[in-house]
Structure 1
Amino acid sequence: MSANAAASDSAYPSPGPSTARWWQNEDWLAVLAALPILIAVANGWSPKMPSLGWTGAADAAKAFSADNLALSGVLLAVFLSISVLALSASLGKRALSFLGGAVVVFVLAWFSQWIANHAGIKAWGLEYVVFALGLGMLWSHTLPVPEWLREAVRTEFFIKVGIVLLGASILLQEMMKAGLPGLIQGALVIPVVWYACFFIGRKLKVDDEFGVMLSTAVSICGVSAAIAACGAIQGDRKKLSYVTSIVLLCAVPMMILMPMAVQKLGLSEAVGGAWIGGTLDTSGSVAAATEQVGKDATKVGVIVKLSQNVLIGVAAFVLSVWWTMRGGKDGATKGQKPSIGVIWERFPKFVIGFVIASIVFSYFVPTSVAEAASKPLKGLREVWFAAAFVCIGLETRLGELFKLGGGRPAIAFLGGQVFNIAWTLLLALWLFGK
């Protein structure tokens, strides 16, 4: 098979159509895969995560200790067993090929997390997803992608499992603890900035599928929101990798410049923290930037970012309904009123899993258990998200990525971010200024 063929979407497994039986539909399979993890965690299972932090060559080998590799082996066993069991009915005799490929995907995902845990890289706010994408692309550009490896490229499935697990980490009580000003800011930032970015994208003739992912990323919380939006509308993985790259590239200079702007403008720590928390698109970059302003800035910045994070589920739900009602990316049924049956057929079922997971862990799991589950759920979620971005890299050609949209999506994102900076500053002055 040629390199181009191997890189094309058609060369990789794709999710079953919405009319397929439930065991062939990746939405339901993602919920099925996440279910045993959620049940186990709700009942007190707390898998220990491997320690991947390091500062330089002297302690780089710590991650490869026997104990650490054993913990990583447990995660690999969980990843493989749950994924292959969920996909077994659709895989059939290809299950062995999937297992072999999934081991490679997991190892590349593990290395992406190890790289991202370097102290210097963490200080810059760079997240594992960019390294997962990069390692996948490095493999696809320098090594062959055989059939058995392509069998494990299940991007949508891995993303949807991660999103369902994400739901269990969104505790609705935290929304109340975040405080009224933070909630008001989140509620006013998300719809206004989303529409502004989407409007700019349309003016620049950016397609709506791209526009949804860009707008959701800039208005909520960057990479996680972009992943949720992509899953909700069953978006193009190449476009998701493009959006992720733009988010992370934009976060680095903002993380440096915004604390300087806070000082130059003479803003209080509370206002500065609210401004940074509402505009920077990754949690890591918010923490790194607000620490340069002060303790109060960090506290407020984290509260504001939390207020936006807890609204991911609402945004994913609204996006999925709106996208279904408009007839998908081609707008085939735009202007028509689809029946309830058609809406249900097209509705991304994994969103239901996300919402139910959030409600159950918020109100039906003891608070102490739900809070203790936050860290292991984050680690498990990142395994599936990292695997998804490795898969995106394996099926993406660098040349194709740069050609997407002719630069217009990047301009739309930057335009939306400029609007976000101005609008969020006004809200921060109103809500947190004295």
Structure 2
Amino acid sequence: MTIEKERFVIHEDWTVVILGGLIILLSILGVLLPVPAFNWSSSQELFSKVLTVGNLQIIGWQFLFVIVIAALGAWMIGKPMKSFLLGFPIVYILTILALIMAGNSAMKALNLEAVIFSLVTGLVISNCFTLPEWFKSSLSTEMFVKIGLVLLGTSVIFTDILKAGSLGLIQALVVVLSVWYFAFWVCKKLKVDSELTMMISSAVSICGVSAAIATSGAIKGDSKKLTYVISMVLVTAIPMMIFMPVIAEYFGFSEEVTGAWLGGSIDTSGAVVASGSLVGETALKISTIVKFSQNVLLGLAAFAISVYWSYSKSNKENEGRERPTLKVIWERFPKFVLGFIGASVLFSFFLSPSTTTAVKDSLKTLQGLWFALAFTSIGLETNFADLFRQNSKKPLYAFLIAQGFNIVITLIIAFILFG
């Protein structure tokens, strides 16, 4: 028994750093998975593009790759292997079904991201059927999220900050800092709990879903609260995407100002591109640059939030005693953030552009798949009624107030810098 216990001593955060690093290393060495097709607009295209033998084979190879990685991770963190190997294929199939639904052109037009379909698929099943305990114990939500976050680091390239332009970067810095602090202050005033406060502040100020996921990982947040925040982000992004271009046209804003406004205030990249396209080519370019500049700040924000949360948590636990030491803060610091930063540094400064270009599509697909697997798992773990019963309306009020401030302050900054 002692020997068996000693095998499972690797912490989950270090496990995901190892697994993320392994995926990246295999990609650099040439183990590149073909990208499956999920986009379709009619039933004819569904069967001629997505459900073809060739595309299903690609999805099958992808399954074999991720189940080996996931099983290795489950073994390292001590999950029961039998239940994991039985449960993971079910989660994978449900996730693929969600990705196919999200690939429909009508859903894309509404800017409904794949993670929301993964989440809804899991929620429907968990609330309509009683899932066995062995299946619930096989779910590895945190591990899937954090592997996706380590891979997200490969797309945050430091040298691309220069391409974003100084004005886009200045706007991103001012907006992120001012909106994050305002959202944090509003949440505290409304007595929103600390975990939701951090997730809401990051989601509103930085880049929506990705920021909420990264923050939840950094503070080891409750997955149900993360679901609640992401639901608010996705629901508010749709009317903003539609009505902000209309408002800009009504008041005669220039395309430069409109693009900077859209890119700085809409929380999802897909919605930014969609709304920028409604205005014009210049607006699309500026909005993309500004949003990209905010995305680049995600790594720095995740690191800062991790340090703050580790220190404040240690302070609470050591209240009335000596101040927390660096050792205590290090023990509480989420190590996956180091994997994220390490991946970003590797792809920014040590790999050739040709290598980066060759592996980026495969890694981007895998990153999205790990996130989708995570949200399918969250849905399967969550009772839909509890999702809103456990959270009062105060987080929603805080989110909407912060989003309103975000829209106004971003417009002011856009006029100053691009007007």
Normalising by structure 2, we get a TM-score of 0.95
Q: Distance in 2 between matches of 1:298 and 1:331?
A: 46
State which of 120, 131, 135 in structure 2 corresponds to 1:149.
135
Deviation at 1:334, TM superposition (A): 5.7
Cα distance per residue 1:114-167 (max 9 Å; x no partner): 111111111111101111110111110112312332133111111111100101
Partner residue, 1:373: 359
2:52 corresponds to 1:77: no
Structure 1 residues 242 and 257, CA gap change in structure 2 (3 angstroms): same
Cα distance per residue 1:353-381 (max 9 Å; x no partner): 11111001111111221133222211100
State which of 181, 186, 196 in structure 2 corresponds to 1:195.
181
Q: Distance in 2 between matches of 1:41 and 1:423?
A: 42
Q: How many residues align?
A: 412
Q: Distance in 1 between matches of 2:363 and 2:81?
A: 26
Q: Which runs of at least 4 in structure 1 moved beyond 6 Å after TM superposition?
A: none
Deviation at 1:83, TM superposition (A): 1.1
Cα distance per residue 1:90-117 (max 9 Å; x no partner): 436x212101111111111111111111
Does the 8 A contact of 1:29 with 1:87 survive in 2?
Answer: no
Structure 1 residues 334 and 310, CA gap change in structure 2 (3 angstroms): farther
Deviation at 1:21, TM superposition (A): 9.0
Q: Distance in 1 between matches of 2:77 and 2:194?
A: 31
Partner residue, 1:421: 407
Does the 8 A contact of 2:7 with 2:76 survive in 1?
Answer: no
2:331 corresponds to 1:357: no
Deviation at 1:57, TM superposition (A): 2.3
Cα distance per residue 1:210-261 (max 9 Å; x no partner): 0100010000110011000000000000000000100000001111101101
The residue correspondences of 1:116-195 to structure 2 (distance < 5 A) are: 116-195=102-181
Residue 195 of structure 1 aligns to which amino acid in structure 2? Y
Q: Distance in 2 between matches of 1:294 and 1:34?
A: 39
Does the 8 A contact of 1:198 with 1:212 survive in 2?
Answer: yes
Structure 1 residues 54 and 325, CA gap change in structure 2 (3 angstroms): same
Residue 52 of structure 1 aligns to which amino acid in structure 2? F
SS in 2 for 1:206: coil
Residue 332 of structure 1 aligns to which amino acid in structure 2? E
Residue 273 of structure 2 aligns to which amino acid in structure 1? A
Residue 140 of structure 1 aligns to which amino acid in structure 2? S
Q: Distance in 1 between matches of 2:379 and 2:230?
A: 12
Partner residue, 2:33: 47
Question: Larger deviation: 165-174 or 139-148?
Answer: 139-148
Residue 70 of structure 1 aligns to which amino acid in structure 2? Q
Q: Distance in 2 between matches of 1:43 and 1:24?
A: 26
Q: Distance in 1 between matches of 2:82 and 2:232?
A: 36
Partner residue, 2:370: 384
Normalising by structure 1, we get a TM-score of 0.92
State which of 16, 28, 33 in structure 2 corresponds to 1:30.
16
Unmatched segments (≥5 aa) in structure 2? 1-5
State which of 51, 65, 74 in structure 1 corresponds to 2:52.
65
Q: Distance in 2 between matches of 1:219 and 1:195?
A: 9
The residue correspondences of 1:164-243 to structure 2 (distance < 5 A) are: 164-243=150-229
Q: Distance in 1 between matches of 2:86 and 2:39?
A: 28
Residue 76 of structure 1 aligns to which amino acid in structure 2? F
Residue 79 of structure 1 aligns to which amino acid in structure 2? V
Residue 356 of structure 2 aligns to which amino acid in structure 1? A
Partner residue, 1:331: 316
Question: Larger deviation: 402-411 or 179-188?
Answer: 402-411
Residue 397 of structure 1 aligns to which amino acid in structure 2? N
The root-mean-square deviation of aligned C-alpha atoms, in Å, is: 1.6
Does the 8 A contact of 2:74 with 2:84 survive in 1?
Answer: no
Partner residue, 1:270: 256
Q: Distance in 1 between matches of 2:261 and 2:76?
A: 49
Q: Distance in 2 between matches of 1:156 and 1:215?
A: 21
2:380 corresponds to 1:407: no
2:269 corresponds to 1:295: no
Structure 1 residues 64 and 148, CA gap change in structure 2 (3 angstroms): farther
Deviation at 1:58, TM superposition (A): 2.6
Q: Distance in 2 between matches of 1:129 and 1:206?
A: 25
Does the 8 A contact of 1:156 with 1:231 survive in 2?
Answer: yes
Unmatched segments (≥5 aa) in structure 1? 1-19
Deviation at 1:22, TM superposition (A): 7.9
Q: Distance in 2 between matches of 1:223 and 1:146?
A: 30
State which of 271, 286, 292 in structure 2 corresponds to 1:285.
271
Q: Identity, % of aligned pairs?
A: 44
Deviation at 1:170, TM superposition (A): 0.7
Residue 406 of structure 1 aligns to which amino acid in structure 2? S
